Every structure is written in C-alpha cells, then in structure tokens.
Amino acid sequence: MISQLLDRLNKYIDPFLMGCIAFSCIVGLFVLYSASGGSVDRVLSQVFNICVALIMMWLAANISPHYLERIALPLFVLGLLLLIGVALLGDVSHGARRWLNLGVGRIQPSELMKIAVPMMLAWYFSKREQSLRWIDYAVATLLLALPVGLIMKQPDLGTALIVTAAGFYVLFLAGLSWKILVGGGLSIAVMTPIFWSMLHNYQRKRIEILFDPFQDPLGAGYHTIQASIALGSGGFAGKGWLDGTQSQLDFLPERTTDFIFAVFGEEFGFLGNVLLLILFMLLIGRGLVISSKAQNTFTRLLAGSITLTFFTYVFVNMGMVSGVLPVVGVPLPFLSYGGTSLVTILLGFGILMSIHNHKTLMSTS
Amino acid sequence: MRTRFEVKNHSLEQFQYGLRLNVAIGLILICFAVLLGRFFYLQIFKYDYFQTLAENNRVSLVPIVPNRGLILDRNGVTLAHNFFVYTLEITPSKAGNVEETFARISQFIEVSAEDRKRFKKLRAQSHSFESVPIRTNLNEVEAAKFAANRYQFRGVEIRSRLFRHYPLGNLGVHMIGYIGRINEADVKVLEKTEDLSNYKGSDHIGKGGIEQYYERQLHGTTGFQQVEIDADGQAVRVLSSKPAIPGDNLVLSIDAKMQDIAEKAFENHRGAMVVINPKNGEILSYVSMPTFDPNLFVDGIDADTWKALNQSLDKPLINRPIRGIYPPGSTFKPFVAMAGLQEGKGLPPFSIGDPGFYTLGGSAHQYRDWKPGGHGQVDIQKAITVSCDTFFYGLALDLGIDKLTSFVSNFGFGKKTGVDLLGEIGGLLPTPDWKMRRWKQKWYPGETVIVGIGQGYTLVTPMQLAQATAVLANNGVAMKPHLVTSVQKHNGAETHMTAIIKSHEMLLDPNNIELVKAGMVGVTQPGGTAGSIGAGSSYNIAAKTGTAQVVGIKQGAKYNAGSIDERHRDHALFIAYAPAEDPKIAVAVIVENGGHGGSTAGPIARKVMDYYLLGKVPSVPLKDPSKTPDTPLVGDAPHD
C-alpha cells in the first residue's frame, strides 16, 4: 500500500536529477549556515523555500508536456501583461520596480518569464517547423525583446540577462543560421566602439569599474575585491566549514545571496569548487541527454533551453564572484539564499523530468 | 509516402539538433574551463598572496575622510571650520557583549544619560561592524585613563574625529546652514547621484544653506588605505593608500560684521533682511530672525532641543528670506509705478485729487487710502513719496492686471531669484488665469485694484523684494544674486571666482526711471513716509515703506495697533537703496508684526547702510570671532 503510494509519487521523478538536486540543496544549507554566521532561522527559512520549490517541481513533473504546449501562449501573454502591470503600478524596493502587489501577495512577474519565454518560443518554432523562414526568427526575436525590454526598465539586469539567454538558446537550438549568429557577433563587435563613444563620461566610468573593480575599491569594486580575497585565501583544500575568516568577519558583502559562492570557495577551497562544478555538470549533462532524447520540437527546444539557462546561472554567478565577469545580480542555484529563483530553477527541472518521463505515453497515444 | 517523408525529415532535424547541442556542449566546456582556470589562478597560483591578505593579517579598506572645506566671509573671517576631538568608540561585532562592555566603561569614564541615548539611537542605525561613538570630546585625562586600561575592552578604541564648528554660532545660520548626521533620505539622494561610495566613512552631510547647496564642493573626495589588521582589528601595516582630497573652501560675499550689525538691529523682532550689491548681485547680508545655534546639530541634536526649536511660535527654523512669503504692501508701488509709466499711464502732468478713498464705477465699496481725508492733489512722484493708495488703485485698474503682472515679473516677482540656496519659493503674482486654475473663479476688477498697493493674492519673499529693489536701483539691469564669490581649491593654488551674471535687462525710459527714483528719494525726506530715516544722513537714500495686513480689517473699522495681539499686528516692510545717485547697496527688510515700515524696519536698513557706506559701527557690542581658538585643543567643546 505504502510502496504503491511511493511509486505513484515517484512515477515522474527522475532519480538521477533528484539525487543531484537533493545533494546540492543539502550542500547549500550547510554553506548558508556558515555564511549567515550560524543563523538557524535563515537555514529553516531556506528549508521552507526548498520544500515549496520541490512541490512545484513535483507538480511540473506530473504535468504532461502536451499541456505545457497548450498553455505556452496564454502563459506568455499573462506574463507580458503582468510585466506591463509592474511598469505601471509595481512596488518599488531597493530602487527598482520589480514586484506586483496582487492584494493576496506580491509576485515578481520577471521570474515567471524565465520559464514562459522559452516555452513560448519553443511553441512558436514547433508550430512553424514545416516552413521555417528567416521571418520566423525575426518574429521570435521580437517576442523575446518585448519582455526583456520591460525587465531592463525595472531595472533588473540579472533577470533580463537570464531571460535573454533562455530565449536565445531556443533560437540557437531551433537552427538560427550560422550566418546570422556570426554576423550578429561581428556587428556587436563593430558597434561597441561606436556605442562607447556615444556614452557620457560617468556611464563609461561605471562600465570601466565593472571590468576593473580596483578603480573604485570602496564602491562598486568592493564586492569583487573582497570575494577574490575570500576565494584566493581558501587555497587548495579550503579553510574548513565555519572557518572562513573573510566570511565570518564582516568583509564579504551579500554573502548569503549573490556572493555565497565566495564563502563556499573560501571554506572548501579549489577542491570544493571542482567538485561543485562537477555536480553542476552532472545536472547539465542529464538535462542535455533528456533534451536530445525528446520526441518533438517543442519538448526538445524547451528542455535544451532550460538546461542551458541553468548553465548560465552557474557560469554568470561563479564568473562574477571570481572576477572574470562584471557584477550582475544572478544567484547561484541551490546555494544562494532566497525562494523565488529556487522555485523557478526547480520548476525547470520538473519540466525536464516531465519531458523525459511522459515520452512513452506520447509515442503510444 | 507522406509518412516516410516525415520520418526522413524528422531524423535530419534531429541530426541538425544534435549538431547544435554539441556546439553548446563545447561552449559549456570552454566556459567551465575558464572558471576552473580562474579558480586555479586565485586559489593555487596566487594563494600565498591572498593568504597573506586574508588569514593572519586581514586586509581592511579604510576610508580616509577628507577635510570639509571652510566657509569664510568676504574678509576672510571663518564662518565654518573643523577641528579634531577624541571620541571613544565601540565596534559591536568585535566587542561581543555590548551592554556589559558599556557598563564597564562607564566605571572609568563618565557617560551621561544623553550619551547613552545617542549611542542607542546611532547603534540602531548602523551595522554591527561600524564603530559607534560612546562619548565625544574626551579630555586628555580621560583619554589617558582609557588608554591605560584599553586591554580590558575588546572592540573599543579612541579615535580622533573631525568635527564641524561654527565659531560665530547663531550668526547667519540660515545662510550658512549646518551639517548633520547622514540619514536614510540623504543616502537615497547619494545613491541617485552615485556619490554614495564617496561618503564611505563620512558621518555628516550639509543640511541647509551653503553647507547643503555646495555639499559637493565642500565634502571633498574620500581617499582610502588598504591596511593589514590583526586579529584584534588593530591596523598593523599600511599596504597602499590613496590620499583624500580635501573639500574646497568657499568665500562668501557676506560681511560677518555687517551681518552681526543687521541681526542685532532686529533686537527681539522676527523678520528677514536681504542686502544686495545691485551692481554685481553679491549678497552682503542675509538675515532670518530669530536664529538658532547650528553647533547643536553637528553632533546629533537631542530630542527636547529639537522639539523646542521646531514647535516654537517664532519659527526659528524657517529660512525666511527665501521661504517666508509676505504681501509686499506699499513697497510694491514703485514697481507698479514703473509698469504704468512704461505703458504710458500716469505720466505727468496727470494727477488726481485724492478724496481719501477710491470707488469702482457701479459699486458702493470704498477702497480706502491709509490717510483719512486723502493727500490732496497727487501726481505719480508724490504718490510714491506719500504712498498714496488712491492713486495706485486707479493706476492698477487703468493698466489692467495682465499688463501689470507681466511687467513687474521682470523685476523678479513671481519666480525664484536663483540664489545659491536650496528650497527657494517663487512667491505669487496673481493673474485671472492663475485664479481660474487655482480657485476655479473669475477675476474681479476689485482684485486688480488692490494688487496696485501690493495686497490681495500678491506674495513675495524678502529675497525677491531685495532683488527687485536692486534691479530698480541698477536701472533695470538684473544681476544674478549669489552668496559664494569664490571657490578655493584646498591647497590655495586655484581660485574659481563665481561668474557675475547679468540675468536680463529691462529697457526702461530714463525719464520714467528718474520719476520713480525721485519719488523714492522723497520718501526719506521731510514729508515722505519715512522722513526720519533720512534725517542726518550724509548720503541720499531712496526708499519705500510698506505695511502688510496680517488680519483683515472690517470696512469702516480702524486699525489700532495697541488694541490687538502682537502677533496679529501688521508686518512692517522697508526697501531702500543708497546712495540714491549711484546705488551701491540695496536692502529689503521685513519685520513681522512690526507695524509701520518706516518706524521699525527703516532704522534696521539705515544701520546697515551706514556701516556699509560710512563704516559706522553701532555702539552695541559685536560678536568677537577671535574668541574661539584657530587650532582648537583636544577636548575643546564645539560650542561657542
């Protein structure tokens, strides 16, 4: 009876992904405990976040991809309307307008778009797959530009980046011509100096600081410098859990959220970083396998985009903390404190599981 | 057939997709290799370097707060400067049990209840790793006593902090302003202007007057030191440093001595005075009465003193010259006269026989002259000299409200003068359009009539009135009023003079100027409304008195100053410039509830003009700036 129930519950859960996710979450809780200076409250609150996110993942895994395909367009339109709502009457917090108060609670529609945009574009390409022409890529680009523009205006550079990436991956996987890809890359390279010459001095300075934190060590560069010191002093094997001097003293800012990787790197060292990279690569690899085995265009593109977007989170966050990328507010999956992005990420993994495990059903029907 | 085609297509598509996936995998591997390389560089290759920075000797970035620029008067008298005091500070995150440490400290060093309150407040506002002052103004004995017992108190240290001090205390406080602790609203502004990182380590920011308007110049650029600190948080070695760039010094056009004479001349009256050099727009005195001591705010004002200041009926915190709005009363008449003459109205030999009141056709309402029975036969020059209301009632109606207001706005009424202070109010020049917008009512001719004598909706600030007087004195050429005449770079090498700007020029007929000015000169001569002001003067004064009603008087009733509450008495106004032939100084004075302009406001203006033009100093003792030491000693109280 109980085993039957467990089977029912586990029917659509991918054991490999689930194992990796569970392990990542546990590692995340340990790091959070250290980063928050031993705050049990913080850890419990994150446990709650993880539970909510896991339930969302389970629900997503149990929904058939057919259904996802059906709601792709309405979901996208809803997300767009909510984003417009945010722009018109959203709540301002920390100088940005990101939240929409619905009376019952606040939501962050830009987060929804991280899923809705790839769904929409995957749906669009799956509809047009018989007669794909360049115009379809143009339409898709426009569909992508609309929400990204609205998110940039909030302003939320980190989310805009993730949504752009999610959309771009669908375009890329759907076969956007190499000519356009290479040409686009080249024209950006050509436009950069022109764009640069049009900027005001203070705008240039801001961008320069993004790439060279030592220009403003007390302001914008402070985070990066402190994170580098934390990581570097971790050495090969790290200083040990709870023993990171940079993290435990108050040198490291935002050390439970966007910069938590610095705490991890200080306490677990190069070795820990390599193992964490491997763990993330396992998740990404599994996602790509699911994508390549998917049976129709919609599920294939969606699975590919979700997986590559997850990779983007990891790369942008680790790159920013270790100082190879400028500072943009992108959290590290499973480690950064916070519920919203965790829900989005696990929702993505739920969809991956659904795509993988509803396959047989699809081919028989 | 069709199925076969689809299958084929399907596999081709899958092949293409596989290709794309492989490209993606390649890119992922490259990206991860970059990360891995970076980790290797930081954690293996540069490990020793970062290890030194972090492990035993941790690196801390310490901001070096720049010295705030000085504020000086035109003769180099210091109005605001800085000095060092020893403070006892605690860093909660290092101290462990703050309450217990605090209790032990108070056994060594006296900590008052006020210090305790301030500490609580500041601690709540700051991060646990920021140091919070327990006591300021430690004297040498106290500092030595603590130093000897320092080992007992983890996280507590003696620091020297820079304090702002206003050596002349109350003098010109509304113009100089003061600095106060940076609050959340300030932080928001700094974030917006992207100046926040320049305020790392700064506790204070300009909160009013020159201190606020020129915050950017006065603050300077924060430097920083990279220092190694040991496990106790003590600096061991400086690794690198970038010095702070001190703020610029500001030289004001104000003469501190004249400012003092002016403030003292107000005695116990409330009011405002602005003195301008009409030739270049320099503000020579800027008075707002009553005043308060800016030094109270520097170290965080206590709640009771703040409450007393804020709730006082005298409203000492209001910056009256730019934020006080008053009906101009009869001081408006010279400007109305100029408007009339330029429009060809009231030109001599035109004159009226004044019966002591004015009526509009078809109405029984009498617009009364201030002098019962009237002034007899009156032309425009006499109308200014004797302040004949009846003449200006008629002139205003003849001109019409639109022409009147649009002309006098050239003198700067109804808009900000642009003086270098924040929060200036533009006053009000009423028009039918304005009334429709504001009150949704049409304009009545009777309202035009009373605008002619500066009553009704018309509102001006003392600043505007002074500027208008200066423009008139300067024959219609408006110079931009300003307080700061030069900005000195900290090393004294460079001095930037404030540009003297001609805002605009009115084209006035010299004959008309002559008429109005002659009327104003008459005011301070026998027979004028302020005859006593000119008495015994070695130079000629052109002036105009004014009275602004605070409480409306019923038709037929008589205003009797003695019988009404002091705060309901009329405001006294007085504008003047001198010498009349070649104006060097223009003055506007408002004495709140001072009654008639000639008798209370006029003498104040005369004292200031006597000082400026003749160097005459009244017998009242003045503030002595030498009372405060130039290089304050440790423990010197920042109070006057």
- Tell me what pLDDT residue B229 has: 67
The active-site residue, picked from B202, B253, B288, B330, is B330
Contact B40 A270 (CB under 8 A): yes
Instruction: Taking residues A273-280, report their average pLDDT.
Output: 96
CA–CA min distance B192, chain A (Å): 9
Give the DSSP per-residue string, B192-245: HTT-GGGGTT--EEE-SHHHHHTHHHHH-B-EEEEEEE-TTS-EEEEEEEE--B
Contact A235 B43 (CB under 8 A): yes
A84-93, B411-420, B488-497: range with lowest mean pLDDT:
B488-497
Amino acid at B608: V
Question: Whole-number mean pLDDT of chain A?
Answer: 85
What would the pLDDT profile of B25-57 be if each residue is shown by its tens digit? 999 999 999 999 999 999 999 888 888 777 554
pLDDT tier for residue A363 given thresholds of 50, 70 and 90: very low
Interface of A with B in 222-241 (CB under 8 A): 222, 225, 228-236, 239
How many other β-carbons are positioned within 10 Å of the β-carbon of residue A310?
Answer: 21
Asked whether the beta carbons of B166 and B73 are under 8 A apart, the reply is no
Candidate from B44, B58, B127 with C-beta closest to A245 = B58
Rounded to an integer, what distance in angstroms lies between the CA atom of residue B528 and that of residue B535? Answer: 11
Asked whether the beta carbons of B102 and B126 are under 8 A apart, the reply is no
Q: Is B330 a catalytic residue?
A: yes
B93 interfacial to chain A (CB closer than 8 Å): yes
* Residue B245 exposed, middle or buried by CB count within 10 Å (0-12, 13-18, 19+): middle
DSSP secondary structure letter of residue B137: S
Contact A173 B129 (CB under 8 A): no
CA–CA min distance A2, chain B (Å): 41
Candidate from B42, B196, B224 with C-beta closest to A322 = B42
CA–CA min distance A235, chain B (Å): 4
Query: What residues have CB less than 8 Å from B416, skipping those under 6 apart?
Result: B424, B425, B426
Contact B32 A315 (CB under 8 A): yes
Instruction: Taking residues A161-189, report their average pLDDT.
Output: 88
A154-168, A272-286, B192-206, B245-259: range with lowest mean pLDDT:
B192-206
Residue B529 has pLDDT above 60, yes or no: yes
pLDDT tier for residue A152 given thresholds of 50, 70 and 90: confident
Instruction: Supply B158's token pair.
Output: 């003696």
B230 interfacial to chain A (CB closer than 8 Å): no
> Cβ contacts (< 8 Å) between A228 and chain B: which residues?
42, 50
Q: How far is the first Cα of chain B from the last one, in angstroms, to the nearest whole number?
A: 103
- Best of B6, B35, B242 to substitute, by most chain A Cβ atoms within 10 angstroms, is B35
Q: Select from A33, A28, A43, A34 the least CA-distant residue to A245.
A: A34
CA–CA min distance B166, chain A (Å): 31
Query: What residues have CB less than 8 Å from A122, skipping those under 6 apart?
Result: A72, A170, A174, A297, A298, A299, A301, A302, A305
Higher pLDDT, B591 or A244: B591
Asked whether the beta carbons of A198 and A207 are under 8 A apart, the reply is no
DSSP secondary structure letter of residue B426: -
Rounded to an integer, what distance in angstroms lies between the CA atom of residue A53 and that of residue A150? Answer: 26
Residue B138 has pLDDT above 90, yes or no: no
Instruction: Taking residues B617-631, report their average pLDDT.
Output: 51
Contact A251 B60 (CB under 8 A): yes
DSSP secondary structure letter of residue B42: I
> Cβ contacts (< 8 Å) between B229 and chain A: which residues?
none
Residue B276 has pLDDT above 90, yes or no: yes
Residue B567 has pLDDT above 90, yes or no: no
HSE (CB half, 13 Å, CA atoms) of A84? Answer: 6
Residue B234 has pLDDT above 70, yes or no: no
> Cβ contacts (< 8 Å) between A213 and chain B: which residues?
none
Contact A232 B224 (CB under 8 A): no
DSSP secondary structure letter of residue B460: B
- Tell me what pLDDT residue B424 has: 93
B20 interfacial to chain A (CB closer than 8 Å): yes
Instruction: Taking residues B496-511, report their average pLDDT.
Output: 85
- Best of A201, A249, A271, A281 to substitute, by most chain B Cβ atoms within 10 angstroms, is A249
Residue of B nearest to A239 (CA): B55
Higher pLDDT, B162 or B293: B293
Residue A179 has pLDDT above 50, yes or no: yes
Instruction: Taking residues B396-425, report their average pLDDT.
Output: 92
- Tell me what pLDDT residue B630 has: 38
CA–CA min distance B50, chain A (Å): 5
- Best of B20, B42, B59, B184 to substitute, by most chain A Cβ atoms within 10 angstroms, is B42
Higher pLDDT, B103 or B271: B271
DSSP secondary structure letter of residue B90: E
The DSSP element (H or E) to which A331 belongs, if any, is none
Q: Which residue has the tokens 């707060």?
A: B65
> Cβ contacts (< 8 Å) between A172 and chain B: which residues?
20, 24
Q: Select from B526, B527, B537, B549 the least CA-distant residue to B605.
A: B537
Question: Whole-number mean pLDDT of chain B?
Answer: 84
Instruction: Supply A353's token pair.
Output: 């599981």
Residue of A nearest to B31 (CA): A315
> Cβ contacts (< 8 Å) between B50 and chain A: which residues?
228-229, 231-233
Interface size, chain A vs chain B, as Cβ–Cβ contacts under 8 Å: 132
A315 interfacial to chain B (CB closer than 8 Å): yes
Contact A231 B24 (CB under 8 A): no
CA–CA min distance B453, chain A (Å): 49
B457 interfacial to chain A (CB closer than 8 Å): no
Asked whether the beta carbons of A307 and A282 are under 8 A apart, the reply is no
Percentage, residues of chain B above pLDDT 90:
42
Residues present in chain B in total? 640
* Residue A213 exposed, middle or buried by CB count within 10 Å (0-12, 13-18, 19+): buried
- ipTM score of complex: 0.91
Instruction: Taking residues B194-218, report their average pLDDT.
Output: 86
Residue B517 has pLDDT above 50, yes or no: yes
* Residue A324 exposed, middle or buried by CB count within 10 Å (0-12, 13-18, 19+): middle
Q: Select from A82, A26, A75 the least CA-distant residue to A54.
A: A26
Residue of A nearest to B201 (CA): A218
- Tell me what pLDDT residue A102 has: 66
Residue B637 has pLDDT above 70, yes or no: no
Residue B59 has pLDDT above 80, yes or no: no
Contact A304 B21 (CB under 8 A): yes
Residue of B nearest to A267 (CA): B43
Residue B601 has pLDDT above 80, yes or no: yes
Residue of B nearest to A94 (CA): B188
Please report which residue ranges of B221-324 form alpha helices under DSSP H. Answer: 256-265, 295-298, 303-311, 320-323
What would the pLDDT profile of B336-385 be if each residue is shown by its tens digit? 999 999 999 988 889 898 888 888 877 778 888 888 888 989 999 999 99
A96 interfacial to chain B (CB closer than 8 Å): no
CA–CA min distance B18, chain A (Å): 7
> Cβ contacts (< 8 Å) between B239 and chain A: which residues?
none
pLDDT tier for residue A251 given thresholds of 50, 70 and 90: low
B63 interfacial to chain A (CB closer than 8 Å): yes
Q: C-alpha distances in angstroms, B598 versus A11, A137, B595?
A: 98, 83, 9
Please report which residue ranges of B474-524 form alpha helices under DSSP H. Answer: 510-523
SS3 content of chain A, % helix, strand, coil (to 5): 75, 5, 20
Candidate from A129, A233, A318 with C-beta closest to B53 = A233
pLDDT tier for residue B3 given thresholds of 50, 70 and 90: very low
pLDDT tier for residue B119 given thresholds of 50, 70 and 90: confident
Asked whether the beta carbons of B132 and B126 are under 8 A apart, the reply is yes
CA A23 to chain centre: 18
- Tell me what pLDDT residue B271 has: 93
Rounded to an integer, what distance in angstroms lies between the CA atom of residue A220 and that of residue A320? Answer: 13
How many other β-carbons are positioned within 10 Å of the β-carbon of residue A70?
Answer: 12
Contact B224 A173 (CB under 8 A): no
